[in-house]
Amino acid sequence: MKRIVVLTGAGISAESGLKTFRDSDGLWEGYNIEDVATPEAWERDPALVQDFYNQRRRSVLEAEPNAAHYALAKLEAQYHVTIITQNIDDLHERAGSTNVVHLHGIITRSQSSVNANLTYPINGWELKMGKKCELGSQLRAHVVWFGEAVPMIETAAKICSEAELFILVGTSLAVYPAAGLINYVSHDVTKYIIDPNIPTVSNKRIVEMPYKATIGVPVLVDELIENAQ
């Protein structure tokens, strides 16, 4: 089966009711990154950071996958699909995708604040201060903050280098190293970009689809499924 790699960002979950980061009314309009999404913020005011991610988790648990998530799951019937997502929600999994790499972690799990490899499921939306990992340190959200390493980046780069077809959905490509992943995809490979505001990429064989995810992704998936038969 042909290998399709899909790189997704906040835009794919926008129509599920989850805010993006950099659109007008995006999350970073209401919060300073330095206050809630860095190791320094956690040092300074862990309760504030915990609360920020508790709110994010609550929104994610209330959200449902949309037509774009479901369409990508459907693609697995005809293709070898790997989804690399920058999103910390679990909507790809809930839509049925079985091969999802979370570059920036996943909000439904907690993480030891002294060892990022120790992660645990969270029951419900609230991760309370005082809840500790097996080493006795406070649990935090399992998300990658600005200034932290992205442990999955090498795995993701290898996956991109093996892509035979590449789809980019709903990301401004403003954050590295994720934004650099498209450069690992071969110049010979067709790259579809689905986003009402197409990000700038310097690469060959780009097909621009300036549509919202719930419109663009199902159209492309239907076309790909038809062509596979």
If one asks whether residue 23 binds ligand APR (CB under 6 A), the answer comes out as yes
69 is annotated as an active-site residue: no
Nearer to ligand APR, 15 or 51 (CB): 15
Query: Are the C-beta atoms of 199 and 172 separated by less than 8 Å?
Result: yes
Catalytic member of 69, 92, 102, 104: 104
Q: How far apart are CA 144 and CA 121, in angstroms?
A: 16
Which residues lie across from 112 on neighbouring strands?
Answer: 139
Instruction: Give the chain's radius of gyration (CA, Å).
Output: 18
At which residue do the structure tokens 């910390």 appear?
Answer: 88
* Minimum distance, C-beta of residue 23 to ligand APR, in the bound complex (Å): 5
If one asks whether residue 106 binds ligand APR (CB under 6 A), the answer comes out as no
Q: Is 31 left (phi over 0), alpha (psi -120 to 50) or beta?
A: beta
Give the x-and-dash track for 63-102 against ligand APR (CB under 6 A): -----------------------x----------------
Sheet-wide strand order for 119-121: 119-121, 105-112, 139-143
If one asks whether residue 213 binds ligand APR (CB under 6 A), the answer comes out as yes
Question: Residue from 4, 6, 14, 71 that binds ligand APR (CB under 6 A)?
Answer: 14
If one asks whether residue 219 binds ligand APR (CB under 6 A), the answer comes out as no
If one asks whether residue 20 binds ligand APR (CB under 6 A), the answer comes out as yes
At which residue do the structure tokens 């002294």 appear?
Answer: 114
* Minimum distance, C-beta of residue 134 to ligand APR, in the bound complex (Å): 27
Question: Residue from 9, 92, 189, 221 that binds ligand APR (CB under 6 A)?
Answer: 9
Nearer to ligand APR, 20 or 110 (CB): 20
List the beta strands (DSSP E) in the chain: 3-8, 80-85, 100-102, 105-112, 119-121, 139-143, 165-169, 191-194, 206-209
The site for ligand APR (CB under 6 A) is made up of: 9-11, 14-15, 20-23, 26, 86, 104, 170-172, 174-175, 195-197, 199, 212-213
